[in-house]
Chains A and B, each alone.
Chain A
């Protein structure tokens, strides 16, 4: 094991700038994951009715605290998506390296251990830093959690790198099976499994969140549980729709395309229709939540206004709703970062081919348009469906509450779409470098 760790360390140290990005971004993701998890544990550890001078007393009651804990735990889902994107950085390169090691005689177990250490390595300092940051915040707030909570903190700090290691091993399972890495690309890289695997992991996280709230408050929170289940169900449908529509669009457009950029993007879609679903799974899920939230918020505010709640209590409720809204925005931001990382990674992986295209006279604007279209084409139908799913949730809620159906949720999908295109566009400066003729010199 010591030898494997040393090997992983040597490999990490000797790798290029892409690996630096992977380490930095993974560490950042680990900080966020640790932060959210520690906060959830800390809030969950508070017992009974207390008085916490924060957010109009949102944390005073066990019932509301359960909601906060659930929100914090659910925030781990987009973070997971982001970490998944980070793990893809330099994946092709690492695949080749591992295959070379298998060819020179490394056993599958050795390769698996090295991959695990390599994946866990950047997240350990990340989770430690997140823990330190959180401890400072606790000290600043003057709050001392009970001993049980400290045990929970330790579990979280260790669980984050372990989870990263597991993901790393899973990603390399094909190389471990065969030392001859696939040099030729014939079929699509991977099917929808990764996307649905992500959903399953998200559902698992939510289940853990429910357990953290405790069975008693869970019964009280039957409605949120129903909403979470509905969101995951819709998410599954949306992700499936993303893959299916990408396959359809890809096939149709490769036949019909007139613009070179559309042809290139469509060719990539048809070749690996599930790529978009994998990259955007977290984003689509967040969009469903976002649409539903905007609708539910409008309905709740209407109820509050109609029932003539006292201004003080009104502030309490709106603070809660606004905090939940902030959580949705944070989740959206994290997912957009994941999307940007995914687009950049896709360009970096193909840089030699892009350089050859540019050398052959394909204008960079065409390559850039193709890169954006690759994000834009499959996202349009998927976001449409996400919008419909989210609207269904808030229509159902409005029916139950007996209020009018709000129209504001309809604005969410176009806004998310625009944000996605902007996020994808952030990788375009990288295209300039990737398509540089200097890349032709290194084979």
Chain B
């Protein structure tokens, strides 16, 4: 890239200053701090610390509670990601196809984007309420005695349902805009070649949506791992007990409530490594995607 740029020694430095100052103090300092404290054991009353090497990490790997949370996070992330992506894709394909009411449908299907995750959790508490929750009553028709906050599986179900509900709109927006950017000529050619709508979808539309889908896959994994904190905290009413929790929630519970700073920092570092791996994977795939678009 060649840019006919301005040359000035101090102006660009001044322009970059706010950004660099903010990230130095509130990004690099904390990140370095987390890295450092993951190798130390903090005194719970704030008197000093001892270097313990990798012991925070080894105790994580051997902790049953941690591996339980890790497996739950994997399970939770997979279901939330695929659930919300497939529902959103179905809705986007249909919203792209209909002529009447297309705009109304778009508005109706996207506004939940602006609902905060913990408020979505409050709505979940209503839906699954023990005495009269509409969904709880509905499940009771099939003999399913839904017990939110008591039964491990039921609580996980409620968290997943609310998290999917909250995430469908943003996926819908991206899929719809991806569909609308498919050139008309391609669609018409496909229409001549293939009469079956399902066949057209899988042969033409789906591959053309692949870049959007891949971008969303990564976004959704990050969402399920990090942004669902508000949903989980409200659904659990702040009382994890024996209920399922994700890794981010565990960082918070152990570090902020349990005061185990070293262990919690080690957990943060594990999460950082996971996110970094995910991002590197994403960049490599994006480089590859240039070839087919």
Do A and B bind?
Answer: no
A interface residue numbers (CB < 8 A to B) = none
